[in-house]
Chains A and B, each alone.
Chain A
Amino acid sequence: QSALTQPASVSGSPGQSITISCTGTSSDVGGYNYVSWYQQHPGTAPKLIIYDVSNRPSGVSNRFSGSKSGNTASLTISGLQAEDEADYYCSSFTSSSTLVAFGGGTKLTVL
């Protein structure tokens, strides 16, 4: 069982917006601004798309945005495109002995 809770799947049509949630506790998501998000296409390594809750690395589309409220972080993808179909993972620093927490992943389907 993953430390952070994500929905198993979400879907949306091209052009729409979707939001993926990532729920933790005050020991991880709620306690630190060290939430990051990763996109993973089949057979490839994860790619960082959001770090420190809401920052985008250079080269990542501004259609990706991140936010946090309390113990829940969110990734929003606007203007959905077919290429956005992938698995998405959240991660957070945690004060527990595991140090790093991951969500179980969310499969995004673009209809």
Chain B
Amino acid sequence: QVQLQESGPGPVKSSQTLSLTCTVSGGSISSGDYYWTWIRQHPGKGLEWVGYIYYSGSTYYNPSLKSRLTISIDTSKNHFSLKLSSVTAADTAVYFCATYKYYFDSWGQGTLVTVSS
């Protein structure tokens, strides 16, 4: 099982772009074994699939976020990233990265991103 770790710059101001990176260890992001995924959880709420990317660069996004979302992959650094533009308070959530092959079997610890005005 691979290990994943989210990282990001901390709080984000409303209307700006939220950027997070997920670093993968214990396996190659280019293996083709998984779709590399972002999931978020609003405070006190359930899980929401954000989107995922394959090592080839193919992306699949939640339609509700698609217009603001970019997920990219850097195989040389063994990490993948999320950028969500024009954020509002509604984007305040814990963001998890995870592996997906019709189920999410490895998860990062999650990082809380707070959008402030």
Residues of A whose CB lies within 8 Å of any CB of B are 2, 34, 36, 38, 44-48, 51-52, 57, 89, 91, 93, 97-105
Contact = CB atoms under 8 A, between A and B. Distances in A.
Given A97-B63, A99-B60, A2 B46 contact: yes
Given A34-B103, A98-B62, A98-B63, A45 B46 contact: no
Instruction: Give the size range of B's interface with the partner.
Output: 10 to 19
Contacts of A51: 102-103, 105
A98 B103 contact: no
Interface string B43-68: 00011110000000000101100000
A91 B46 CA distance: 11
Contacts of B48: 102
B107 interface: yes
A93 B102 contact: yes
A97 to B, nearest CB: 5
Residue among B47, B62, B105 with most chain A CB within 10 A: B47
A102 B49 contact: yes
Contacts, number: 51
B49 to A, nearest CB: 4
Contacts of A89: 46-47
Given A89-B46, A98-B49, A99-B60, A46 B107 contact: yes
Contacts of B16: none
Given A45-B109, A46-B104, A99-B49, 16 more contacts: A34-B102, A36-B102, A36-B103, A45-B96, A45-B107, A46-B47, A51-B105, A57-B105, A91-B103, A93-B102, A97-B63, A98-B49, A98-B62, A99-B60, A102-B47, A104-B46
A103 B100 CA distance: 17
Nearest to B62: A98
Nearest to A104: B46
Contacts of A44: 109
Contacts of B100: 100
